[in-house]
Amino acid sequence: PQAVRLADYRPPAFLIDAVDLDISLDRSKTRVAARLAIRRNPAGQAGAPLALDGDGLVLRRVALDGAPLAPEAYEATPDSFLLRAPPEGPFTLEIETDVDPSANTQLSGLYRSGSAYCTQCEAEGFRRITYFLDRPDVLSVYTTRIEADKSEAPVLLGNGNPVGAGDLDGGRHFAIWRDPFPKPCYLFALVGGDLGHISESYRTSSGRDVELAIYVERGKEPFASYAMDSLVRSMRWDEQAFGREYDLDVFNIVAVSDFNMGAMENKGLNIFNDKYVLASPETATDSDYAGIESVIAHEYFHNWTGNRITCRDWFQLCLKEGLTVYRDQEFSADQRSRAVKRISDVRGLRAQQFPEDAGPLAHPVRPSLYHEINNFYTATVYEKGAEIVRMLKTLIGEADFRRGMDLYFARFDGTAATVEDFLACFAEASGRDLAQFSLWYEQAGTPQISVQSDYDAAAKTFTLALEQSTPPTPGQSDKKPFVIPLALGLIGENGDELTLSAAPGETGASGEECARGVVELSTPKRKIVFENVPSRPVASLLRGFSAPVRLAPPQSAEDLERLLAHDSDSFNRWQAAQSLALRSVFARIEAARGGEGADDKAFFDALKRLVEAGEGDPSLVAQALSLPSEIDIAREMGKDVDPDVIYSARSGLRRDLGRFLAPALAEAHARFAPQEGFSPDAASAGRRAMRNVALDLLAAGDPASGGPLAERQFAEATNMTDRICALATLSHLPGAAREDAFAAFYERYRKDHLVVDKWFALQSTIPEVETTARVARLMAHEDFSLANPNRVRAVVGSFANGNPTRFHALDGSGYALLERVVLELDPKNPQLAARLLSALRSWRSLEERRRKIAETTLRRILATPDLSADVSDIATRALG
Ligand code: HT7
Ligand code: ZN
């Protein structure tokens, strides 16, 4: 496919003010009649023909201003429509196309999920329904008439408000929906099916009544109540935190089981992967509940950041996605423990975005070129995009940030905006020049910050010498310095927080920086001298992870222990535990090569004190005990990664820690036993997290006692979190008990596809040689289907992304399995195939033998005939 470049952006030559759709649903031949009110765009290229996008369409009829078009007046292929000489004035174009929803395995455009009809139009799916100017800067008002068999699809939903409905001859019926808010076609949606629903009335802060409904497979209605609760809380929060009210009379959510991503924010009609809607204590884990809350919020928040203000072009994707992720993260932080939420977001960023930024698929948060836009729904655009918004707020302060957001909403409502438009609002609100800040959108790569510290006991000064550098990334060899907000504090000898006092002169931090505890690093180097420091402090740097950077080199063990015990910043206390664990793993790796072994005594003692303290937030203690994953360790290593070496060093640490803490862990496991009744709230989830991390470490320390404890918990569990965590612990202990538990789990939940996904995923991540064969068996299981993305992700995605020793097996069997699935899936669902292939994005950081096999695999995939644009783009860039 052709490269698309940001620099080539031109306004559309035509605008489409109104779209009237008449869609007659049929399983294999759905008739789509579109009437488009078109006019030339005064800002567009004069005299241009009208070129509409299509994708696999069958044209039935076309008319201009009511008269059929002569064949020589236009040129139509399945993928394009050209009106050679459009009128100079406004005109109406009527186009009738046929589409086959049953044959749509890509899950883009109009397709069937189970027995329902549904759509997915972002990014370029609308062109698979009708010919159109399929670009986000063409905003139209839509009226949609949907017709279907009443028995097959008694529920007919569209965007906007319902304005009509009725019965027709032959058992058919119709519904008419009108959306008064101009929108790009990627926000179009319809649903038809025999669905159940729950509903609730919501009154906005200005007193408007909105009817909320969540549609699900019949019989699943009770499972949607947490999603509804999350929706109501999201709506209230957006009013309070951002002054944003909902704007239609109805808000509908539909859950479907076949969906390429998490959910979609179609105006007034969000369509969800049912994984992010359905929950009950018996079937959903605490992390499922948290996921539902955040995805419901995310899609709802798009109503303002994405829908009312949309993107001018797909290069601006972060404008809606980064900002909306930031908003959903803040929402969840307000609903739950802010510290735990931050830790979990940073874990996610480091696990997904850092490797992306360090490998061949690295791209700026706002890319300047793409071949396949579907491959740019990335952790960089979403998660790093959110970090940029958070940094902006840190830099300009809360009040100016809110003023900037208000200005953005006021100025760009109803338009398709750019990152420049967004930043200009904050520059205006704060009076600050954001030119250098905008580099965060333009330059890829994760900045490294190195720190030298020096305490002068005689002068009672403490000096920090900071330096930033950013490694080269594809197409960007030289990086300019970023503006980096560095939140910091100094921890004194007794663990007290020292007051920051800047030394006068050039090298001091400003009074304001000291007062806020945030210094700015905007040059390659900066030296900061603090005065009146009574004794050697430990610097607590990058508090709350105030910028998406790497800090190097790590501090000494003693400094980290001081931070773990005393830092007032919860994030950095957790970070200290992670850094100490990493030191231990690396020492163990060295020891295996004949070097000095790890001395973990002080670290283990510190963790023991945390577990025994029994006060504070158990979820924070659970986080401190959750060691860096094998993938975290590989990332820190950076090069010549051998997953087997990492696995055995990490297992050794878990074993030793489990043994050392055994009595405290056993006590915690008992202390946090389930209470009467189940609540998904953060406090209860924190208790469960602590209980389950204790169980897992106990079993790592002593399988002989931990195994039976896990078996008991598995059998007696009263909620899915406790049951699946027990099963996860058992999954690391080969033997009959484990296999019996898997069999019992399947028997119990075989009717619930979301729980069966967990059963598949857990087996795919067993770190044993036999697992690759097990995964092949799972793919032959009667419940496995390549047509269902959640199932494919559960089996193959979990294997490739969550089982490093097996996926990177030295005999190449893991890569061979991925290759086979990618190539089989590609003709059916290229978006999903491409995402799976991204598991190979860090192949260059592997040790030589694995690197060679990975490269050969990528080359073979790339040489396969008829590869989709999606997969060939990933393979090409991964090799590039
Ligand atoms: N904005 C939505 C993105 C999305 C999507 C993109 C490409 C292909 C399929 C898709 N489904 C949903 C989801 C979101 O970020 O809110
Ligand atoms: Zn989004």
300-310 in b/e form (b: 16+ CB < 10 A) is bbbbbbbbbbb
- 37-53 pLDDT per residue, tens: 999 999 999 999 999 99
Atom nearest to 306 CA in ligand 1? 1
Mean pLDDT, the chain, rounded, equals 97
- Residue range 100-123: average pLDDT? 98
Ligand 1 centroid – CA 313 distance (Å):
15
CB 156 within 8 A of CB 33: no
Cα–Cα distance, 545 to 295 (Å, whole number): 23
Please give the DSSP secondary-structure letter assigned to residue 27.
S
- pLDDT given at position 658: 98
Atom nearest to 321 CA in ligand 1? 15
Ligand 1 centroid – CA 755 distance (Å):
24
Atom nearest to 298 CA in ligand 1? 16
- pLDDT given at position 554: 67
* Local confidence band at 506 (pLDDT 50, 70, 90 cut-offs): low
β-sheet bridge partners, residue 64: 67, 93
Closest protein CA for atom 3 of ligand 1 = 264
Beta strand extents in 367-413 (DSSP E only): 369-370
In the three-class reduction of DSSP (H, G, I as helix; E, B as strand; rest coil), residue 871 is classed as helix
- Residue range 562-573: average pLDDT? 97
For residue 368, give both structure tokens.
């300047």
User: Ligand 1 pocket test: which of 298, 325, 375, 377 has the largest number of ligand atoms within 8 Å of its C-beta?
Assistant: 377
- pLDDT given at position 509: 78
Question: Does residue 194 register a pLDDT over 80?
Answer: yes
* Local confidence band at 615 (pLDDT 50, 70, 90 cut-offs): confident
Closest protein CA for atom 10 of ligand 1 = 261
Atom nearest to 260 CA in ligand 1? 9
Ligand 2 centroid – CA 302 distance (Å):
7
Within 8 A by CB and 6+ apart from 229, the residues are none
Q: Give this complex's ipTM.
A: 0.98
Is the full-model pTM beyond 0.80? yes
CATH number of 310-442: 1.10.390.10
The phi, psi pair for 580, rounded to 5°, reads -65, -40
- Residue range 180-184: average pLDDT? 99
Ligand 2 centroid – CA 202 distance (Å):
23
Closest protein CA for atom 12 of ligand 1 = 264
Question: Does residue 776 register a pLDDT over 80?
Answer: yes
Closest protein CA for atom 1 of ligand 1 = 264
- pLDDT given at position 136: 99
Whether 824 is a known active-site residue: answer no
Question: Does residue 821 register a pLDDT over 90?
Answer: yes
* Local confidence band at 861 (pLDDT 50, 70, 90 cut-offs): very high
Cα–Cα distance, 689 to 313 (Å, whole number): 42
Closest protein CA for atom 15 of ligand 1 = 321
- 324-380 pLDDT per residue, tens: 999 999 999 999 999 999 999 999 999 999 999 999 999 999 999 999 999 999 999
Cα–Cα distance, 415 to 64 (Å, whole number): 28
Question: Does residue 508 register a pLDDT over 80?
Answer: no
Q: Which ligand is nearest to the CA of 270?
A: 1
* Whole-angstrom Cα Rg for the chain: 28
CATH topology classification for 555-739 = Zincin-like fold (1.25.50)
* Local confidence band at 613 (pLDDT 50, 70, 90 cut-offs): confident
Cα–Cα distance, 587 to 650 (Å, whole number): 11
Ligand 2 centroid – CA 325 distance (Å):
7
Question: Does residue 595 register a pLDDT over 90?
Answer: no
| Equal CATH topology for 555-739 and 750-880 | yes
User: Ligand 1 pocket test: which of 104, 261, 270, 378 has the largest number of ligand atoms within 8 Å of its C-beta?
Assistant: 261
- 684-695 pLDDT per residue, tens: 999 999 999 999
User: Which of 502, 500, 507 lies closest to 540 in space, CA to CA?
Assistant: 500
- Can you identify the CATH homologous superfamily of domain 448-547? Aminopeptidase N, middle-beta domain (2.60.40.1840)
Ligand 2 centroid – CA 774 distance (Å):
35
H-state helical runs in 259-303: 286-301
CB 490 within 8 A of CB 563: no
Q: Which ligand is nearest to the CA of 187?
A: 1
CATH number of 750-880: 1.25.50.10
Q: Which ligand is nearest to the CA of 259?
A: 1
Catalytic residue among 122, 147, 299, 630: 299
The percent of residues in the chain predicted with pLDDT above 70, rounded, is 99
Cα–Cα distance, 761 to 369 (Å, whole number): 35
Question: Does residue 553 register a pLDDT over 70?
Answer: no
Question: Does residue 503 register a pLDDT over 90?
Answer: no
CB 160 within 8 A of CB 267: yes
CB 630 within 8 A of CB 804: yes
User: Ligand 1 pocket test: which of 122, 186, 324 has the largest number of ligand atoms within 8 Å of its C-beta?
Assistant: 122
- 201-255 pLDDT per residue, tens: 999 999 999 999 999 999 999 999 999 999 999 999 999 999 999 999 999 999 9
Cα–Cα distance, 157 to 555 (Å, whole number): 57
Cα–Cα distance, 268 to 308 (Å, whole number): 11
CB 355 within 8 A of CB 364: no
Question: Does residue 507 register a pLDDT over 70?
Answer: no
- Residue range 638-642: average pLDDT? 97
Domain ranges of the chain: 310-442, 448-547, 555-739, 750-880
Ligand 1-lining residues (CB < 6 angstroms): 120, 122-123, 260-261, 263-265, 298-299, 302, 321, 374, 377, 831
* Local confidence band at 552 (pLDDT 50, 70, 90 cut-offs): confident
Question: Does residue 742 register a pLDDT over 80?
Answer: yes
